[in-house]
């Protein structure tokens, strides 16, 4: 039987800032078409790991592969071009631009018209290209139910809507893998339910593989196919949500429960 190639493979990644170890020998794979969540206490190294995958940080040691190709030394723009999109824990929208323009920015690397064709906008293909991109952006706007604010200035929107616009911009990149850094942080219950629905629909209907950092354990357990737990920059468990939640090291890290036995090996399922 042929073994499916992981869409993402992280192999022995360590990250140091001076004498501080943010990550230590972390390995895992993300399979095509799954929702894979990374959880852990504050300071566990979750965002550092996402930054290594997206190209903001370069690992001190280890290797990162995407679609079977080594991307460890590629910059963020090259990785975006390969199909890795992301959102940020702290919103990174252009607050002075409209919602529509913010989402269009997410498609900049897909534009093929050069400077000369841009100058000959009405005679060349640039106008047709822009209209095609606009149609795709409108589809995303409809999908994420932000039609009423499509022409609003992004910085004037309520926090929950701004989080949704940032998701729209990441989706506009047409990623194969989308990295979501705390997509539901600061949201009320209704906003979280909507965001969870959008994420599962992106995965099931749009075919996007999702790697998500999230603190809301209820959401993680409800929508994730597999979960990895980091603690002090090390992987302590990985597997199905149920197996991970029952793991003694995870219960210690989250609930402060003492271990009844020597340090457990990481669970892999």
How is the chain split into domains, by residue range?
1-83+175-269, 97-174
More reliable by pLDDT, 30 or 254: 30
Looking at domain 1-83+175-269, its CATH architecture is: 3-Layer(aba) Sandwich (3.40)
Q: Can you give the pLDDT at residue 74?
A: 96
Residues 6+ apart with CB under 8 A from 12: 25, 26, 27, 61, 62, 63
Q: Is the pLDDT of residue 175 over 80?
A: yes
Q: Is the pLDDT of residue 256 over 90?
A: no
Extract the runs of DSSP E, i.e. beta strands, from 161-265. 177-181, 209-213, 226-231, 234-239
Q: Can you give the pLDDT at residue 109?
A: 60
Extract the runs of DSSP E, i.e. beta strands, from the chain. 8-17, 20-30, 35-39, 61-66, 69-70, 84-86, 177-181, 209-213, 226-231, 234-239
Instruction: Point out the least confidently predicted range of 55-64, 104-113, 142-151.
Output: 104-113
Q: Can you give the pLDDT at residue 268?
A: 55
Question: Phi-psi bin for 105: left (phi > 0), alpha (psi -120 to 50), beta?
Answer: alpha
d(CA 14, CA 171): 29
d(CA 253, CA 236): 9
Q: How confident is the model at residue 70 (pLDDT cuts 50, 70, 90)?
A: very high
**What percentage of the chain has pLDDT greater than the value 70?**
84
Q: Can you give the pLDDT at residue 1?
A: 44
Q: How confident is the model at residue 104 (pLDDT cuts 50, 70, 90)?
A: confident
d(CA 233, CA 269): 21
Write the pLDDT tens digit of every residue in 77-93.
999 989 999 998 766 78
User: How far is residue 26 CA from its own chain's centroid?
Assistant: 18
More reliable by pLDDT, 257 or 36: 36
Q: Can you give the pLDDT at residue 60?
A: 97
Q: Is the pLDDT of residue 213 over 50?
A: yes
Q: Is the pLDDT of residue 48 over 60?
A: yes
Average pLDDT score over residue span 110-115:
49
Q: Is the pLDDT of residue 21 over 80?
A: yes
Average pLDDT score over residue span 30-56:
95
Average pLDDT score over residue span 226-245:
95
Q: Tell me the pairing of strands 61-66 and 177-181.
A: unpaired
Q: Is the pLDDT of residue 257 over 70?
A: no
- Mean pLDDT, the chain, integer: 87
Q: Can you give the pLDDT at residue 231?
A: 93
Average pLDDT score over residue span 139-163:
93
Q: Is the pLDDT of residue 2 over 60?
A: no
pTM higher than 0.75 = yes
d(CA 10, CA 61): 11
Q: Is the pLDDT of residue 217 over 50?
A: yes
């Amino acid at each position: 039987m042929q073994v499916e190639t992981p869409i993402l493979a992280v192999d022995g990644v360590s990250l140091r800032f001076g004498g501080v170890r943010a990550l230590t020998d972390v390995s895992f794979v993300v399979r095509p078409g799954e929702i894979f969540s990374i959880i852990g206490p504050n300071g566990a190294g979750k965002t550092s790991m996402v930054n290594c995958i997206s190209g903001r940080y370069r690992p001190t040691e280890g290797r990162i592969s995407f679609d079977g190709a080594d991307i460890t030394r590629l910059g963020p723009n090259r990785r975006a071009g390969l199909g890795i999109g992301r959102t940020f824990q702290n919103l990174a929208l252009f607050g002075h631009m409209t919602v529509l323009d913010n989402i269009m920015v997410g498609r900049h690397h897909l534009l093929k018209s050069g400077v000369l064709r841009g100058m000959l906008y009405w005679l060349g293909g640039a106008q047709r290209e822009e209209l095609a991109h606009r149609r795709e952006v409108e589809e995303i706007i409809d999908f994420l139910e932000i039609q009423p604010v499509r022409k609003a200035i992004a910085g004037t929107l309520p926090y929950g809507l701004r989080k949704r616009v940032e998701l729209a911009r990441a989706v506009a990149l047409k990623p194969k893998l989308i990295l979501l850094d705390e997509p539901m942080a600061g949201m009320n219950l209704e906003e979280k339910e909507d965001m969870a629905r959008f994420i599962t629909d992106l995965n099931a209907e749009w075919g996007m593989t999702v790697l998500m950092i999230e603190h809301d354990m209820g959401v993680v357990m409800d929508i994730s196919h597999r979960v990895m737990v980091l603690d002090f920059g090390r992987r302590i468990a990985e597997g199905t949500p149920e197996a991970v939640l029952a793991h003694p090291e995870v219960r210690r890290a989250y609930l402060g429960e003492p271990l009844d036995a020597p340090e457990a090996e990481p669970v892999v399922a």
